[in-house]
Copies of this chain bind each other. A is one copy, B any other.
Amino acid sequence: MKIGDIGEFGLIDRLSSIIKTDDKDVIVGIGDDTACVNINGKLILFTVDIQVENTHFIKDKINPEYLGWKLATTNVSDIVACGGVPRWSLISFTASKDTDLSFIEAVYKGIKEAIDYYKFSVIGGNISSSDKLAFDMFFVGETERFVGRDTAKVGDFVYLSAPVGLSRAGLELILNKQDIKEDFEEKLILNHYKPVARIDLKDTILKYANSCIDISDGLVQDLYHISEKSNVKIVLQKDKLPIDQSLLEFCNKYNKDIYDYILYGGEDYQIVLTSDKELNNMLKIGYIEEGSGVYLDNTKLPKKGFNHF
């Protein structure tokens, strides 16, 4: 059997069963994007995310500073979604000896920009030779309360931090390779290359979220994580889903269904959370009911989105 036959989440289940262990200091272990342990009474978060050549980026096409920025952002986003802040990081990368020093230095300049924006320190790492570039980044964060995915409550509202779907449209524009792009297209492309983790929402998440996730695989697929782990039904209200003007122009120009981008586009790194409070700094897009599944008004939505295999 090939790993592609069972998919990413099937694979995680299989491997987890091999290595499972007991440790009373582990608050959240395998199966979440972020692990949480108790160290002398402090809740410490761990997460890891990688950018691989030809999977996540094309070496000759990408701006390496964006690559460094995005590498840090995808990780910080996972930590923020748990109500935490990033503290320390280790960078493990592979490259061939023929790699231009200027490329690697530019990746690190992008990471430095992220260090200054998100406020963390790089404290170590590893360099190994390979004919393929890959940048793996391990983050340590801390939180006062672990905000997970299994604690959404019936009666909660669903809140979204900003319109989504932009990143996927940006990626399609990059892959299209047309030379001249309109302003709204440049904006969508920048959203793909340089997403910003919503660290500005950390207090909101920590204080008010019953459950929370960042949108990396797509709004619906990520909400399915909350739905399944919390055993609740999530209802999105179509007329409340925010629509980005640039994405609208894109969909009009290329004759695309905008809801396909909003519901299933990935890599936006916006925050979706559930809360029983009224929040003024986020967009209310739905609510939680008893039941299961993710719905758009009365229609159950398919669980699809980004899968690595």
Contact B124 A21 (CB under 8 A): no
Q: Considering the complex, which residues of chain A in the window 41-81 have a beta carbon less than 8 Å from any beta carbon of chain B?
A: 41-42, 44, 46-50, 52, 54-56
CA distance A299 to B14 in the complex (A): 55
Q: Residue A12 at the B interface, CB < 8 A?
A: yes
Contact A101 B35 (CB under 8 A): no
Q: Residue A290 at the B interface, CB < 8 A?
A: no
- Contact partner of A125 (CB less than 8 A), chosen from B30, B54, B104, B122, is B30
CA distance A3 to B104 in the complex (A): 8
- Contact partner of A121 (CB less than 8 A), chosen from B23, B39, B94, is B23
Contacts of A111 in B (CB 8 A): 18-19
- With A18-B109, A21-B121, A121-B29 as known contacts, state yes or no: A92 contacts B48, CB within 8 Å: yes
1/0 per residue, CB under 8 A from B, across A189-220: the answer is 00000000000000000000000000000000
Contacts of A52 in B (CB 8 A): 94, 128-130
Q: List 28 A-B contacts (CB under 8 A).
A: A1-B102, A2-B101, A3-B95, A4-B97, A4-B98, A5-B101, A11-B101, A18-B108, A18-B112, A21-B121, A30-B124, A35-B90, A35-B124, A40-B40, A40-B42, A44-B44, A46-B88, A46-B90, A48-B126, A49-B92, A50-B94, A50-B128, A52-B130, A90-B138, A92-B138, A130-B134, A136-B136, A140-B140
Q: Residue A177 at the B interface, CB < 8 A?
A: no
CA distance A41 to B40 in the complex (A): 8
Query: How many of chain A's residues have a CB under 8 angstroms from any CB in B?
Result: 79
Give 17 A-B pairs besides A18-B105, A50-B92, A136-B136 with Cβ atoms closer than 8 angstroms: A4-B96, A14-B101, A15-B104, A18-B109, A21-B120, A26-B88, A29-B122, A29-B123, A30-B122, A30-B123, A37-B88, A37-B123, A47-B124, A48-B125, A52-B129, A90-B138, A127-B308
- Taking the closest CB of chain B, its distance from the CB of A272, in whole angstroms, is 21
- Taking the closest CB of chain B, its distance from the CB of A306, in whole angstroms, is 11
Contact B130 A2 (CB under 8 A): no
